[in-house]
């Protein structure tokens, strides 16, 4: 790896992440899994036990996670042979990865795409932290994952991958002026005049291809094994939503929906993107638990024409009507510290390249 004085700023590509592993800035308690190093992120793996908690918590600036855990843990669950995590419960799992970061490197974490599409709420916690999912520059210590399944009970085991971490040196975020220039050169979203304001606006598609606009999760279903791909029938877990005459959808409180963006999203090879809330004042709903888009997302599909973003949507407290074309989020782009040796979808068994409206990888293709 480069010395701090000459190292480029930006999100680390895969070869720089491998350097962190080789130099023990990222320590692993088990050998790396296949494709655990992604183009610009590292998958994090569950350890051997899960602690069922009374409540979620943060340790604060003076304590380790282990200190409040002693009083908040109800019981311990062995994950070595697999265990079911129930809906409505909160669990804390020590991860197989730990950190000893240099002073100029920080990190962010987020759920993997498949985790968000199952309505599984996850957040990474570090020692002496005031916030979730942020790892301070120079942090040395363990990583823990808080897990709360919201809709489906899930079967997990040691080594299951529900979250990912990306490493960053310096400020990598593109300004609106930079975004405008990059869009003119690379077509970041398929829109004639994209709305660029602290990111690029993304809207919801309720017009319906073949009349299907989304899915609403069913309650009281069977268990989802997070490590089994293509094992489940869609209709056992989801209710299809078809286009309404007025192209609107009423979001029922505390129900979970999978929808899609109107825009096709393109992330060029030297960049990554994140979906963030558009404006908390536009409505009482949350979009996109798993908001990270790897470099190359939508780049290989149809010659770089983009892939639609899948939107994980949940309304809060009151019913809320969304309309076709309503802006629901914005894409923030960041530059990488180098070009990844492999891009998303290029031989990495990427599940969502070229996607339209698509459920998580655990479900068989839906026959309309």
CATH number of the domain encompassing residue 148: 2.70.40.10
- Is 357 within a domain? no
d(CA 214, CA 230): 19
**Both 117 and 233 in a single domain?**
no
How does pLDDT run across 141-150, given as a tens digit for each residue?
999 999 999 9
C-alpha torsion angle, residues 117, 119, 120, 123 (rounded to 10):
90
CB 195 within 8 Å of CB 331: no
**Both 237 and 263 in a single domain?**
yes
d(CA 205, CA 211): 11
Tally of structural domains, the chain: 2
Q: Above 70 in pLDDT, residue 2?
A: no
d(CA 302, CA 298): 8
Task: Decide: residue 352, CB within 10 A, 0-12 exposed, 13-18 middle, 19+ buried.
Answer: buried
- Residues spanned by the domain of 317: 176-335
pTM of the model: 0.92
* Average pLDDT score over residue span 54-75: 95
**Both 227 and 155 in a single domain?**
no
Token pair listed for 74:
């109800």
- By C-alpha distance, which of 210, 234, 206 is closest to 222? 234
Of 41-50, 56-65, 337-346, the poorest mean pLDDT is in: 337-346
Instruction: Give the chain's mean pLDDT.
Output: 90
Confidence of residue 306 (pLDDT cuts 50, 70, 90): confident
First and final C-alpha spacing in the chain: 50
Confidence of residue 179 (pLDDT cuts 50, 70, 90): very high
**Both 181 and 162 in a single domain?**
no
**Both 208 and 303 in a single domain?**
yes
**Both 43 and 150 in a single domain?**
yes
**Both 148 and 194 in a single domain?**
no
Confidence of residue 126 (pLDDT cuts 50, 70, 90): very high
SS3 131: coil
**Both 104 and 41 in a single domain?**
yes
Bridge pairing between strands 154-156 and 224-225: parallel
Confidence of residue 5 (pLDDT cuts 50, 70, 90): low
C-alpha count within 13 angstroms, C-beta hemisphere, residue 101: 25
| DSSP state, residue 20 | H
Per-residue model confidence (pLDDT) at position 285:
60
């Amino acid at each position: 790896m480069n010395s701090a004085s000459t190292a480029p700023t930006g999100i680390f590509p895969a070869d720089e992440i491998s350097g962190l592993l080789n130099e023990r800035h990222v320590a692993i308690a088990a050998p790396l899994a296949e494709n655990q190093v992604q183009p610009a992120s590292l998958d994090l793996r569950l350890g051997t036990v899960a602690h069922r908690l009374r409540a979620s918590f943060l340790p604060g600036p003076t304590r380790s996670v282990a200190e409040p855990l002693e009083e908040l843990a109800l019981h311990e669950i062995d994950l070595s042979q697999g265990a079911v995590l129930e809906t409505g419960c909160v669990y804390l799992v020590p991860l197989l990865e730990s950190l000893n970061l240099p002073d100029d490197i920080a990190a962010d974490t987020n759920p993997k795409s498949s985790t968000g599409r199952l309505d599984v709420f996850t957040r990474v916690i570090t020692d002496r932290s005031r916030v979730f999912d942020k790892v301070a520059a120079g942090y040395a210590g363990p990583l823990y994952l808080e897990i709360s399944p919201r809709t489906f009970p899930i079967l997990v085991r040691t080594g299951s991958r529900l979250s990912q971490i990306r490493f960053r040196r310096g400020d990598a975020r593109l300004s609106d002026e930079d975004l405008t220039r990059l869009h003119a050169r690379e077509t970041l979203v398929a829109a004639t005049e994209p709305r660029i304001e602290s990111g690029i606006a993304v809207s919801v598609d309720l017009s319906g291809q073949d009349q299907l606009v989304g899915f609403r999760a069913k309650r009281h279903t069977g268990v989802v094994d997070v490590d089994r791909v293509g094992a489940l029938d869609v209709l056992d877990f989801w209710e299809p939503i078809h286009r309404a005459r007025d192209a609107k959808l009423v979001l029922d409180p505390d129900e979970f929906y999978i929808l899609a963006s109107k825009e096709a999203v393109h992330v060029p090879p030297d960049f990554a993107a994140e979906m963030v809330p558009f404006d908390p004042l536009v409505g009482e709903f949350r979009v996109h638990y798993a908001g990270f888009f790897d470099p190359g997302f939508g780049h290989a599909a149809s010659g770089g024409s983009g892939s639609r973003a899948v939107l994980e949507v949940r309304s809060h407290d009151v019913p809320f009507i969304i309309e076709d074309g309503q802006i629901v989020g914005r894409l923030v782009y960041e530059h990488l510290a180098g070009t990844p040796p492999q891009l998303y979808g290029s031989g990495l068994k990427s599940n969502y390249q070229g996607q339209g409206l698509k459920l998580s990888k655990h479900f068989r293709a839906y026959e309309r």
